[in-house]
Structure 1
Amino acid sequence: MRSKLEWRAARVLVIETPAEDVRAVTFAVEDLRSSFDPGSHTNIKVMINGEPAIRTYTVLPSEPGTLKIAVKLHPNSRGGSAFVWTLKPGDETEMTEPENRFELSWRASHYLLVAGGIGITPIYGMAKALATRGQSVRLIYGARSIEQMAFASELRDLLGDRIETFSQEDGQAFDLAGEFAALPPDGEAYLCGPHGLLETARNLWRESGRPMSRLRFEVFGDSGRFAEESFQVHVPRREKIVAVRADQTMLDALVEAGIDMIYDCRRGECGLCAVNIIEASAPLDHRDVFFSTEERREKAKMCACVSRAVGGTITIDTGYREDSHSATLRAPT
Structure 2
Amino acid sequence: MLSKSEWQNAVVTSSEIIAEDIRRIELAPKFAIPVKPGEHLKIMVPLKSGQEKRSYSIVDAHHDGSTLALSVLKTRNSRGGSEFMHTLRPGDEISVSRPSQDFPLRVGAPEYVLVAGGIGITAIRGMASLLKKLGANYRIIFAARSPEAMAYKDELIAEHGTNLHLHFDSDGSTIDVEQLIDSLNHNVELYMCGPIRLMDAIRRAWNQRGLDPTNLRFETFGNSGWFSSEVFNIEVPELGIHTTVKKDESMLEALQRAGANMMFDCRKGECGLCQVRILNVDGHVDHRDVFLSDRQKESDTKACACVSRVVSSPVSSSPSSPTSTISVALS
TM-score (norm 2): 0.89
User: Which residue is 2:326 aligned to?
Assistant: 314
Structure 2 matches for 1:116-127, cutoff 5 A?
Answer: 116-127=117-128
Distance in 2 between residues matched to 1:135 and 1:105, nearest whole Å = 12
Distance in 2 between residues matched to 1:232 and 1:217, nearest whole Å = 31
User: Which residue is 1:133 aligned to?
Assistant: 134
User: Which residue is 1:168 aligned to?
Assistant: 169
Confirm or deny: 8 A CA contact 1:223 1:285 kept in the other structure: no
Distance in 1 between residues matched to 2:222 and 2:16, nearest whole Å = 22
The change in CA–CA distance for 1:179 and 1:226 in structure 2 (over 3 A counts) is closer
Paired residue type of 2:187? D
* 1:89 counterpart = 2:101: no
Distance in 2 between residues matched to 1:32 and 1:308, nearest whole Å = 39
Distance in 1 between residues matched to 2:49 and 2:239, nearest whole Å = 28
User: Which residue is 1:30 aligned to?
Assistant: 30
User: Which residue is 2:183 aligned to?
Assistant: 182
User: Which residue is 1:57 aligned to?
Assistant: 56
Distance in 1 between residues matched to 2:228 and 2:265, nearest whole Å = 25
Q: Per-residue deviation at 1:285? A: 1.4
* DSSP 3-state at the match of 1:169: helix
Confirm or deny: 8 A CA contact 1:276 1:300 kept in the other structure: yes
User: Which residue is 1:43 aligned to?
Assistant: 42
Cα shift readout 1:117-170 (whole Å, capped 9, x = no counterpart) = 111111111101111111111001111111111111111122111111111111
Q: Unaligned regions of 5+ residues in structure 1, if any? A: 320-333
* 1:275 counterpart = 2:287: no
Cα shift readout 1:89-140 (whole Å, capped 9, x = no counterpart) = 1122211111011111224111000111111111111101111111111001
Distance in 2 between residues matched to 1:50 and 1:13, nearest whole Å = 28
Confirm or deny: 8 A CA contact 1:276 1:318 kept in the other structure: yes
Percent sequence identity is 40
Cα shift readout 1:56-77 (whole Å, capped 9, x = no counterpart) = 1111111223332101111232
Distance in 1 between residues matched to 2:232 and 2:50, nearest whole Å = 20
Cα shift readout 1:211-236 (whole Å, capped 9, x = no counterpart) = 11111112225444332223332223
Give RMSD over aligned pairs.
Answer: 1.9
Distance in 2 between residues matched to 1:179 and 1:315, nearest whole Å = 40
Q: Per-residue deviation at 1:245? A: 2.1
Paired residue type of 2:328? I
User: Which residue is 2:316 aligned to?
Assistant: none
Q: Per-residue deviation at 1:13? A: 1.2
Distance in 2 between residues matched to 1:32 and 1:318, nearest whole Å = 42
Distance in 2 between residues matched to 1:4 and 1:214, nearest whole Å = 33
Confirm or deny: 8 A CA contact 1:41 1:56 kept in the other structure: yes
Confirm or deny: 8 A CA contact 2:61 2:69 kept in the other structure: yes
Confirm or deny: 8 A CA contact 1:42 1:99 kept in the other structure: yes
Confirm or deny: 8 A CA contact 2:196 2:226 kept in the other structure: no
User: Which residue is 1:12 aligned to?
Assistant: 12
More deviation, 97-106/243-252: 243-252
Q: Per-residue deviation at 1:14? A: 0.5
* DSSP 3-state at the match of 1:288: coil
User: Which residue is 1:218 aligned to?
Assistant: 219
Confirm or deny: 8 A CA contact 2:15 2:89 kept in the other structure: yes
- Runs of 4+ in structure 1 off by over 6 angstroms are none
Distance in 2 between residues matched to 1:15 and 1:87, nearest whole Å = 7
Confirm or deny: 8 A CA contact 1:145 1:167 kept in the other structure: yes
Paired residue type of 2:326? I
Confirm or deny: 8 A CA contact 1:27 1:67 kept in the other structure: yes
Distance in 2 between residues matched to 1:146 and 1:288, nearest whole Å = 28
* 1:236 counterpart = 2:237: yes
Number of aligned pairs?
A: 317
Paired residue type of 2:239? R
The change in CA–CA distance for 1:218 and 1:177 in structure 2 (over 3 A counts) is same
TM-score (norm 1): 0.89
Confirm or deny: 8 A CA contact 1:229 1:245 kept in the other structure: yes
User: Which residue is 2:115 aligned to?
Assistant: 114
Paired residue type of 2:36? D
Distance in 1 between residues matched to 2:258 and 2:32, nearest whole Å = 34
More deviation, 8-17/240-249: 240-249
User: Which residue is 1:328 aligned to?
Assistant: none
User: Which residue is 1:154 aligned to?
Assistant: 155
Distance in 2 between residues matched to 1:224 and 1:86, nearest whole Å = 26
More deviation, 127-136/63-72: 63-72
